[in-house]
Amino acid sequence: MKDAKRLHEEVQCSNFPVYKNRSGPGQWSVRPDASQEPALKSIFSPLVAALVLAVSLPAAAQHLDVKLGTSGGPVSGSKIDVEVYGDLNWYIAQTGGSPVEYGTGTLIVPANFNDTPGGPFATDNPGFQSFAGQFLPNEELRFRAHDRLRYLPSGGTEWVDAAPGGGIRLMGSIPEDIVFDYVYNGTRGAEYLYYEGGTLFAGNGVIGPQEAPIAGASSRGAFHLHLDWYLEGSARAAKGTYLVEMSLFSTAVSGGVPKYLESDRFHVIFRNDVTNEQFGAAMRTLTEAPVAAPVAAVVSGVPEPETWALAAVGLALVGVATRRRHRPRR
**Per residue in 188-202, pLDDT tens?**
999 999 999 999 999
Q: Using an 8 Å Cβ cutoff, are 143 and 214 in contact?
A: yes
Bridge partners for 258 per DSSP: 253
Span 293-320, average pLDDT: 57
Assess whether pLDDT exceeds 90 at residue 31.
no
Could you tell me if residue 138 is inside a domain?
Answer: yes
Assess whether pLDDT exceeds 50 at residue 25.
no
Could you tell me if residue 47 is inside a domain?
Answer: no
Containing structural domain, residue 246: 62-287
Could you tell me if residue 11 is inside a domain?
Answer: no
Sign of the torsion angle spanned by Cα atoms 110, 113, 115, 118: positive
Could you tell me if residue 207 is inside a domain?
Answer: yes
The whole-number pLDDT of residue 86 equals: 83
Could you tell me if residue 200 is inside a domain?
Answer: yes
Could you tell me if residue 161 is inside a domain?
Answer: yes
Could you tell me if residue 261 is inside a domain?
Answer: yes
Span 37-49, average pLDDT: 34
Q: How far apart are CA 31 and CA 29, in angstroms?
A: 6
Count structural domains, the chain: 1
- pTM, two decimals, is 0.72
Could you tell me if residue 48 is inside a domain?
Answer: no
The whole-number pLDDT of residue 98 equals: 65
For residue 133, the one-letter residue type is G
Angle subtended by helix axes 88-95 and 276-287, to nearest 10: 80
**Structural Rg of the chain based on CA atoms:** 30
